[in-house]
Amino acid sequence: MSAPLTPTTTDAHVVVLPMGTDSIAGPVRTSAPLPAELLAAIQTNLESASAKNTNLAYASDWAAFERWCDDNGQVALPADGPTVAAYLTDRGNVVKKTGEYAYAPSTLSRWLTSINAKHHGAGLPLPGSLAEVKRTLAGIRRTHVRPTRRMAPLLLNDLKKTLAGIDTRTFPAGIIGTRDSAILVMGFAGAFRRDELAVRRIEDITLDSDQGLKVHLLTSKTDQEGRGSTKSLPFGANPLTCPPCAFLRWVRVLEASPGPRAGLMKVLRDSDSTVHICQLPTLELARLDPKQALFRPVRRGGNIGPNAISGEVVNDLLKRRIEAVGMNPKRFGGHSMRAGFVTQALRAGATHREIMRQTGQLLESTVETYRREHDNLRDNAVQRIGL
């Protein structure tokens, strides 16, 4: 029976030796160099382990930390506990002209996560695990308390009011109006995060004669590894807020847009948000390139761009449409559609589990946050005291 194996190291490789052996008999075997294309593929996989936006945030945060270290004579990699604690303290003490702290504790926590990620990638100990750093951040959280700013929910009546104020029938305003209406209806019904909605391609959407729209997500904030999920957006009783109708009205515009202007203007004139079109043949959808972005920029003159919009566009268009019907845009943002869905569902008696099936949230406590913030009169004794 052969002796058990134990690892030892040479200058560049781990070599396995039998137990009790002090030297190697014969030449040392080393691995051949890996092909450049395989090394490049490995690097791609490493970079894809986190979402693109996460990687960009890490890179930006790390660059800021490096600059601070250079300016203050500190070593960034590897960084010791006093350096990181000093960085968090220095940045945490920055004050705006209004007298408020410039950076929230949550922002400082994210910066620390980025510093940890850089050290982890280099095979170094994580500064964030040091007691000195943990206690520094805890102290900042206690002294920099500020109320959490959350977007107001876009409730169903607010959504209807907003949609009713959008021009979807004249040229060229009706082009962007039809797009924005589809984004608002689908964003609300699907409880989408704004980035999830912005990057959808036509092939991600399936029209099911029984369940309405099926929207396929390859990844999400709670599914970074791409296991995938599907959200169903059912047929609505009201054509104005029926997700398949809103989607198909935009599909008709997309299909007509490369052709003569007269054809596109006719599509807009014939559009009627008081009439269902979700049970009609969908030949226009079959004629579109499934690989193209669903929601695209609309330029001056009504020209539709080829690429996907960004999550920031979703945020801006919601604020613009809200303001147009007399609501305060500062209270609303891209997250308002998702918050509105959860709040409306809670008020309708939906369970946390039912809500989580649509939102993709993993914790009931996250749903409960919306109840505390936007539905706090439910099951509340103040309702019983006869004010």
What was the pLDDT predicted at 289?
Answer: 95
- pTM exceeds 0.85 for this model: no
Is 251 a residue whose pLDDT tops 50? yes
Distance of CA 160 to CAs 62, 69, 165, 181, Å?
A: 44, 52, 9, 10
pLDDT in tens, 271-323: 999 999 998 888 999 999 999 999 999 998 899 999 999 999 999 999 999 99
Is 383 a residue whose pLDDT tops 80? no
Is 17 a residue whose pLDDT tops 60? no
Distance of CA 83 to CAs 87, 119, 123, 126, Å?
A: 6, 14, 19, 13
Higher pLDDT, 22 or 63: 63
Q: How far apart are CA 74 and CA 68, in angstroms?
A: 8
pLDDT in tens, 128-175: 999 999 999 999 988 887 655 678 899 999 999 999 999 999 999 999
- The per-residue b/e assignment along 347-370, b for 16 or more CB within 10 angstroms, e otherwise, is eeebebeebbebbbbeeeeebeeb
By mean pLDDT, which of 26-30, 219-223, 252-256, 262-266 is the weakest?
A: 219-223
For the chain, the domains span 49-143, 156-338
Fold of 49-143: DNA polymerase; domain 1 (1.10.150)
- The DSSP output letter for 311 is H
Distance of CA 320 to CAs 83, 103, 172, 182, Å?
A: 44, 27, 17, 15
Is 7 a residue whose pLDDT tops 70? no
What was the pLDDT predicted at 25?
Answer: 53
Tokens of 197: 């909605």
Q: What is the percentage of the chain residues whose pLDDT exceeds 90?
A: 58
Is 33 a residue whose pLDDT tops 90? no
Q: How far apart are CA 58 and CA 118, in angstroms?
A: 8
What is the overall mean pLDDT for the chain? 85
Higher pLDDT, 22 or 261: 261
pLDDT in tens, 344-375: 998 888 888 899 888 887 777 777 776 766 66
3-class state of residue 302 by DSSP? coil
What was the pLDDT predicted at 372?
Answer: 63
191 Cβ contact partners less than 8 Å away, ≥ 6 residues apart: 231, 337, 338, 341, 342, 355, 358, 359, 360
Spatial CA neighbour of 134 closest among 149, 152, 116, 120: 116
| DSSP annotation string for 90-156 | HHHT-B-TTSSBSS-HHHHHHHHHHHHHHHHHTT---GGGSHHHHHHHHHHHHHS------PPP--H
Spatial CA neighbour of 220 closest among 287, 311, 126: 311
Higher pLDDT, 378 or 58: 58
What was the pLDDT predicted at 150?
Answer: 73
Q: Categorize the per-residue pLDDT at 55 as very low, low, confident or very high, splitting at 50, 70 and 90.
A: confident
Task: Output the CATH code of domain 156-338.
Answer: 1.10.443.10
